[in-house]
Amino acid sequence: MKEKILHETTIFAEKITDFGSFHITNALITSWVAVAVIVIISIFLRRKLKEIPKGIQNVFEVFAEGALSMCDQVTNDRALSIRIFPMAISVFFFILVNNWLGLIPLGGFGLIENHEGIKSFIPFLRGGTADVNTTLALAVSAVIGANLFGVVSVGIWKTFNKYVNLSVLGSIFTKIKKEPTVIIVAPITFFVGLIEIAGEVAKIASLSFRLFGNIFAGEVLLVSISALVAYVVPIPFLFLEILVGFIQALIFSMLLVVYFTISSSDHDHEPARNASHNDAGGESHEHQKLTQGVV
């Protein structure tokens, strides 16, 4: 009688081995492989760089220029885009390679674990982004990194005041004679800043669970389809998951660009900038009307 071996897709990454008290999971191994792939490709491209690009260098340069143009659409500032781009593109490739490595059908490459007489198969590779620990680490790094970028860009005091707006509370004593309504507006503005802290936590949850949910669901779908019909039928779903992996990597990296751009904005000068913009727009409109002979 053939011995039955279970092969189930778990919501958590499976342990492959231990390094002291540190558990090495299949998702962690996949993440290491993803980093190794990126490093190898980077070294290869660096050594083959030519003044007149051709071949794979040309492909990567076209891709990089297109990605930088997408950053410009968010930042509206090429100098700011160049500062954010290295972080965004690195995260994009890390997530993309992780997503696609989880789709490679390696069949029986894994180990058999015997737990209380029940044998189960554990694959060596599992998409790193199909483990919530990886996506949570990426999300925390993105949000903390955005705030540190804000500290570097606009200063620690302005970044701190975005969340704990002490300056607006202090303005009550200086403006109350000229603007009595400040006694109502200032506390509201202060508490809005505290809500921003909750918003940062929400960003972490949104980034991590969106990426994890989409990638994990895709892997479960492929396993389920393959269990029902082993050949041909899973192929369209495999290509669909390749597309989903690309889209999810793009969404995460673009949201990172958005968060870094917001953090680098000096909110204290936004009203003045908007006012000057409105004045300029009004003058332009009046000039247009005069030109057309309406006024």
Report the pLDDT value the prediction gives residue 260, as an integer from 0 to 100: 94
Q: Which residues, other chains included, contact 206 with Cβ-Cβ below 8 Å and sequence gap of 6+?
A: 139
Residue 2 CA, distance from chain mean position: 46
pLDDT score at 136: 93
Report helix angle 166-175 to 182-228, nearest 10: 160
The lowest-confidence range among 5-9, 198-202, 224-228 is 5-9
pLDDT at 44 over 60: yes
Over residues 45-65, the mean pLDDT reads 82
Closest by Cα among 108, 99, 85, 88 to 33: 99
Cα 153 to Cα 123, 150, 261, 272, 293: the distances in Å are 45, 5, 10, 19, 46
State pTM to two decimals.
Answer: 0.77
Which pLDDT score, from 0 to 100, does residue 109 have?
Answer: 54
Residue 70 buriedness (CB in 10 A; 0-12 / 13-18 / 19+) = middle
CB contact at 8 A, 162 and 199: no
pLDDT over 90 at 47, yes or no: no
Nearest one of 207, 256, 252 to 75, comparing CA atoms: 256
Alpha-carbon distance of 146 to 100, in angstroms, equals: 27
Distance CA 261, CA 75 (A): 6
Integer Cα distance of 105 and 129 in angstroms: 17
pLDDT at residue 90, rounded to an integer: 92
pLDDT score for 259: 93
Q: In the chain, how many H helices and how many E strands?
A: 9, 4
Region label for 133, one of left (φ > 0), alpha (ψ between -120 and 50) or beta (otherwise)? alpha
Sorting pLDDT into bands at 50, 70 and 90, what band is 120? low
What are the residue boundaries of the structural domains of the chain, listed by start?
A: 15-267
pLDDT tens sequence across 244-278: 999 999 999 999 999 999 888 865 554 434 444 44
